[in-house]
Structure 1
Amino acid sequence: MTAEAETHDGEDLTAADTVTGEPETNHGISQDDDAADQDMTMANVGIEGDNVPDIKTESKSEVKLEDLFADIDSDEEFGSAKVKSQDIKPSSSPEAPSSPVHVGPSSRASDPEVMRSFYQRLFPWRYLFQWLNHSPTPTTDFGHREFAFTLQNDAYLRYQSFPTSDLLRKDILRLMPSRFEIGPVYSTNPRDRKTLRKSSAFKPIAKELCFDIDLTDYDDIRTCCDKANICNKCWQFITMAIKVVDVALREDFGFKHIMWVYSGRRGAHAWVCDKKARHMDDQKRRAIAGYLEVIKGGAQSGKKVNVKRPLHPHVARSLEILKSHFQSDILEDQDPWETDEKFDRLLQLLPDKTLNDALRKKWSSAPGRASTAKWADIDALAKTTQGLNATALREAKQDVVLEYTYPRLDIEVSKHLNHLLKSPFVVHPGTGRVCVPINTKHLEDFDPLGVPTVTELLGEIDEWTAPEEGEKEGKSIADWEKTSLKPYVEYFRSFVVSLMRDENDVKVKREREETDSMEF
């Protein structure tokens, strides 16, 4: 029983993919075999907080706006968070002291003490809570949120929930999962689902709209790497995809709070966090996924692009964005039609047989001719080809550009409200790299191979020395500020602040409108 399947880098799991060890319900969860049930039963023994009291509705206590966005660099919960002490169940085992971990060449990301130190000292728990809670006071946005853990023995625990990030942090440190996923907010506390008389009373009601782009879906067109391997050349496929999807989500659907996150190995995830996105049902999610899906079919399915003419404005805009990438990243860096076998695929996408025969003859007589030259040959020979339909050729060339550059989305990730996706800032167990957010303002500068690994970060803490001047007296410096993780956490923090500010503005406006409507 393994949740860390190599499909899609083991980076996301639908509800149907997960193991619960429970009878089949109406949530799309299928019952696994007896061995899986036994494993899961054993793995669930002693799970902290099964009886943690449910979080009630948002506190009525007044919170000042300056407190809402106070920049307090600590791992503690918000000072304004009113959680009763009797509601907080202590961890079943005390935390280990936060002493420096001296990592060396033999240290690995999967080492328990390495991961413990990462979760204790570097993981931005406070900002994760802010991001998912949308308020300084704990609400059901966080308290009814599902978390799922992949343990070191590959057991997969679903329907974990926590009133505060401190309790989540303590359970992570106790169980030491290799990673954890974030699921939807449910109508009731996920831990209480078995106590409900009607299973239909337990249903997902909100989750970010997510997208997943994986470089293995480009294996039939990237020439530099394949499978789990990546380099800066093929990473440009992800750069192109982010540009196209991000602008569509913002300009065509009006979304504002979109966070892109590096998957830790060979892909990227998008989290669309606007409130209107979080509350969309499956039908609306499928519609947006279908709107963005242009590339269809597997590696051997032939022509993958069939777009209507005149081109939809989204497709026309995407072509404009992608044409410069096609020239540099595809023709020059990937050189996709270098061999006879490869250029034959290009010829299959062109509509005129006479032109194709002329191109095949020219290219076969000049082995190794660069793809940039072959692409130029199409127009050059087209001028001397009698009876050629220029419009059909132009459209076919547009389709070629789209096939080699347009985003290849795993749209199943986007279609369902109850889908689980790996949390930002967890460590990829294969590469040791942290799943950091990508600053789209500097998208071209993002280097997946330069993302820090967990062992590098812990080494940076050990090597850090306090500055002699300029440090504010009495201000503690968080461990993440001492490392190369700092710019990623700061970007995440600014994203969360912007999201919370908009959520708060909407709430204040709604309350003001309700007050005005009561006046005579």
Structure 2
Amino acid sequence: MPHPVSPEVSTPEQEDGGLPDASENEEGQQGDEVASAGEDQMDIESPPMPVVVKEEVRLDDMFDDDDDDDDDDEYGEFPESSVPEIKPEGAQDAPIVTAPSARYSDPEIMYAFYQRLFPFRYLFQWLNHSPSPTNDFGHREFAFTLQNDAYLRYQAFPTADLLRKEILRLNPSRFEIGPVYNTNPRDRKTLRKASHFRPVAKELVFDIDLTDYDEIRTCCDKANICRKCWTFVTMAIKVVDAALRDDFGFQHILWVYSGRRGAHAWVCDKRAREMDDPKRKAIAGYLEVVKGGAQSGKKVNVKRPLHPHLSRSLDILKDHFQSDILEVQDPWRDPTRSDRLLHLLPDRALNDSLRKKWDSSPLRPSTSKWADIDALAKAGASRSLDAKALLEAKQDVVLEYTYPRLDVEVSKKLIHLLKSPFVVHPGTGRVCVPIDPRRLEEFDPLSVPTVTELLGEIDQWGAVGTNGEVAAGDAGGGGEESKAGVARRVQDYEKTRLKPFVDYFKGFVVGLMRDEKGGVGVDGRKIKREKTEEEEDNGGEDRMEF
């Protein structure tokens, strides 16, 4: 039996996107992440937990919350001053009172969120691709950011229950999801050579961050966002989602709000999960059109005739360009910004005529300046004007101001970690909820519930006398009648505005597992798929607590 190993401790360097990849030395061996979190750095010992792949496991048994306290020994010894103890059964029904000045990442708030609202069950099924435990989940890396900013890497868990217990013990401010490895990440130091420890699968991921749009958005900058600039994310999701589905044939694409200023895509198809780094890099390059930093020149240089992906993208984006860019963002009203537009046009004589016209009306709106280009071209402002070159230049302008700006480095490597869905962003308190691509226009990041609002909604539900239960068949209260005719217990997330997001995630996971039927996990073993509760339609009591 392998000796206990200490979890890796480091400090996260990015707030909103993915986390730094594991470094590699000259021999190709994966280096250990080590960083300090101040003088009070915790030294946490966790024993490795071997993965047992079970063929016959009932879903209710896997998620039974009536665990013995003796099971806690599997997690190692933790300083009592740093990690809260799991509360007794029934304690979750006590009201959670938070002070108005409480931080979103306060330990009490985060503990209540994990205990009462986080959908551990569906997260497990999503990453495991089956109700029965496999190495798809058991060899998956998790990384925790603790309350003192310590960062623990290479954590792994055989079941959702063990993941839930560990999170309740550590009470992290957030956690990230990494790849599936060829062995349990906790056992990596028992291998003879570090090069024998390697990633074998992970979702293909993409990161959209509004800070990459700072040079073209006029309403906000840096970490600030509003409904006006959120349309850049909406446009990006439309274009990337269409390309992934139509050009690559992927079906299971989960879009998740990052909690502040962006969105992440998780491509969950088995074919995507098993791609190596060169294939991931190729797809990222396929989608990368806008290149160069804020001080660079022309950022869009595409070949003609346009690739079908770019032609489709222009069709998707043309209406957004007219309304969201020209009218809402008004990017060229300021004379210093309109110079950027002139630098993107190919004819010097036309540019001189436009500059003269705009200098006479310094605050001319962008819609008028965009119309002036065709008007002066038709009026003969330049005798040497190439109409085809002008059209292509205008297409490039539309792409530069509307096409997705991806952090492609996030997508290129298997070993990159990315923030888990449904964690709480420590800066805004908002939950990282899924985004339904079919209802993009309805999604408002500023209306996404915060953790304190959700906990307050649970308390408000109990205050009106429901006591967490509803009459059987009561459509107004969300009740569900079991076969025995007894009303089931309403779970805490169902009492809040988190419900539609969990329900969407639940449906996504069911569809993914349905397509995995008869497939083979990354451990090489055939997945024995059991029916989900929804498919059985038994309406029985749900024994798994969020």
The interval holding the TM-score normalised by the smaller chain is 0.7 to 0.9
State the alpha-carbon separation in 1 of the partners of residues 33 and 151 from structure 2.
Answer: 14
Moved more, 465-474 or 263-272: 465-474
Among 103, 106, 109, the alignment partner of 1:114 is: 109
Once the two structures are superposed, the pairs formed by residues 449-460 of structure 1 within 5 Å of their partners are 449-460=446-457
Once the two structures are superposed, the pairs formed by residues 13-92 of structure 1 within 5 Å of their partners are 13-16=19-22, 26-29=28-31, 36=35, 42-47=41-46, 50-52=47-49, 54-56=50-52, 58-61=53-56, 77-78=62-63, 89=74
Other-structure match for 1:139 = 134
State the alpha-carbon separation in 1 of the partners of residues 194 and 441 from structure 2.
Answer: 48
Q: Which amino acid aligns with 1:13?
A: L
State the alpha-carbon separation in 1 of the partners of residues 41 and 260 from structure 2.
Answer: 31
User: Do the aligned partners of residues 87 and 59 (structure 1) sit closer, same or farther apart at CA in structure 2, a change above 3 Å counting?
Assistant: farther
Other-structure match for 2:533 = none
Deviation at 1:14, TM superposition (A): 2.6
Contact 1:352–1:388 (CA under 8 A) maintained in structure 2: yes
User: Do the aligned partners of residues 272 and 88 (structure 1) sit closer, same or farther apart at CA in structure 2, a change above 3 Å counting?
Assistant: farther
Among 300, 304, 313, the alignment partner of 2:308 is: 313
Other-structure match for 1:3 = 11
State the alpha-carbon separation in 1 of the partners of residues 165 and 26 from structure 2.
Answer: 31
Moved more, 312-321 or 90-99: 90-99
Deviation at 1:104, TM superposition (A): 4.0
- CA RMSD across the alignment: 2.6
Q: Which amino acid aligns with 2:229?
A: C
Other-structure match for 1:503 = 516
Q: Which amino acid aligns with 2:421?
A: P
Q: Secondary structure at the match of 2:74?
A: coil
User: Do the aligned partners of residues 136 and 238 (structure 1) sit closer, same or farther apart at CA in structure 2, a change above 3 Å counting?
Assistant: same
Other-structure match for 1:517 = none
Contact 1:148–1:159 (CA under 8 A) maintained in structure 2: yes
C-alpha deviations, 1:428-467, integer Å up to 9, x for none?
A: 0000000000011111100000000000000000001435
Contact 1:108–1:455 (CA under 8 A) maintained in structure 2: no
Contact 1:142–1:164 (CA under 8 A) maintained in structure 2: yes
Whose helix fraction is larger, Structure 1's or Structure 2's? 1
Other-structure match for 1:381 = 376
For normalisation by structure 1, the TM-score amounts to 0.88
Deviation at 1:86, TM superposition (A): 7.8
Contact 1:149–1:181 (CA under 8 A) maintained in structure 2: yes
Once the two structures are superposed, the pairs formed by residues 192-271 of structure 1 within 5 Å of their partners are 192-271=187-266
1:448 aligns with 2:445: yes
Contact 2:141–2:179 (CA under 8 A) maintained in structure 1: yes
Other-structure match for 1:475 = 488
Q: Which amino acid aligns with 2:74?
A: K
Among 364, 367, 374, the alignment partner of 1:369 is: 364
1:462 aligns with 2:459: yes
Deviation at 1:42, TM superposition (A): 4.9
User: Do the aligned partners of residues 412 and 41 (structure 1) sit closer, same or farther apart at CA in structure 2, a change above 3 Å counting?
Assistant: farther
Among 412, 420, 427, the alignment partner of 1:430 is: 427
Q: Which amino acid aligns with 2:332?
A: W
State the alpha-carbon separation in 2 of the partners of residues 126 and 152 from structure 1.
Answer: 24
Q: Which amino acid aligns with 1:394?
A: L
User: Do the aligned partners of residues 234 and 3 (structure 1) sit closer, same or farther apart at CA in structure 2, a change above 3 Å counting?
Assistant: farther
C-alpha deviations, 1:374-418, integer Å up to 9, x for none?
A: 101100000122221000000000000000000000000000001
User: Do the aligned partners of residues 139 and 181 (structure 1) sit closer, same or farther apart at CA in structure 2, a change above 3 Å counting?
Assistant: same
- Structure 1 residue runs of 5 or longer lacking an equivalent are 80-84, 513-520
State the alpha-carbon separation in 2 of the partners of residues 133 and 89 from structure 1.
Answer: 21
- Structure 2 residue runs of 5 or longer lacking an equivalent are 1-8, 65-69, 78-83, 528-546
Deviation at 1:111, TM superposition (A): 1.1
State the alpha-carbon separation in 1 of the partners of residues 526 and 18 from structure 2.
Answer: 38
For normalisation by structure 2, the TM-score amounts to 0.84
C-alpha deviations, 1:454-498, integer Å up to 9, x for none?
A: 000000000014356713333011100000000000000000000
Q: Which amino acid aligns with 2:276?
A: D
Q: Which amino acid aligns with 1:26?
A: G
User: Do the aligned partners of residues 129 and 175 (structure 1) sit closer, same or farther apart at CA in structure 2, a change above 3 Å counting?
Assistant: same
User: Do the aligned partners of residues 511 and 30 (structure 1) sit closer, same or farther apart at CA in structure 2, a change above 3 Å counting?
Assistant: closer
Contact 1:24–1:30 (CA under 8 A) maintained in structure 2: no
Once the two structures are superposed, the pairs formed by residues 410-425 of structure 1 within 5 Å of their partners are 410-425=407-422
Q: Secondary structure at the match of 1:351?
A: coil
Q: Secondary structure at the match of 1:158?
A: strand
User: Do the aligned partners of residues 88 and 307 (structure 1) sit closer, same or farther apart at CA in structure 2, a change above 3 Å counting?
Assistant: farther
State the alpha-carbon separation in 2 of the partners of residues 12 and 379 from structure 1.
Answer: 43
Contact 1:15–1:29 (CA under 8 A) maintained in structure 2: no
State the alpha-carbon separation in 1 of the partners of residues 26 and 398 from structure 2.
Answer: 45
Other-structure match for 2:544 = none
1:354 aligns with 2:339: no
State the alpha-carbon separation in 2 of the partners of residues 264 and 188 from structure 1.
Answer: 32
